[in-house]
Amino acid sequence: MEKLDINDIKKFLPHREPMLLIEEAWIDDEGVAHSTYRIKEDEFFTRGHFPGNPIVPGVIQCEIMAQSCAILVKDEIPGHMTLYAGLNNIRFKNMVKPGDLCEVTCTLDERRAQLFFCTATLKVAGKLCCKGQLTFALVPLA
Q: Count how many Cα atoms sit within 13 Å of the Cα of residue 59 in the half-sphere of its side chain.
A: 5
Buried/exposed code over 86-100 (b: 16+ C-beta within 10 A; e: otherwise): eeeebebeeebeeeb
Residue whose C-alpha is closest to residue 140's, from 110, 114, 111? 114
Let me know how long the chain is: 142
CA distance linking residue 132 with residue 109, whole number of Å? 12
CA distance linking residue 14 with residue 139, whole number of Å? 13
Residue 34 catalytic? no
Could you tell me where the beta strands, DSSP code E, fall in 2-78? 3-4, 24-27, 33-38
Pairing between strand 3-4 and 33-38? unpaired
Please list the active-site residues. 49
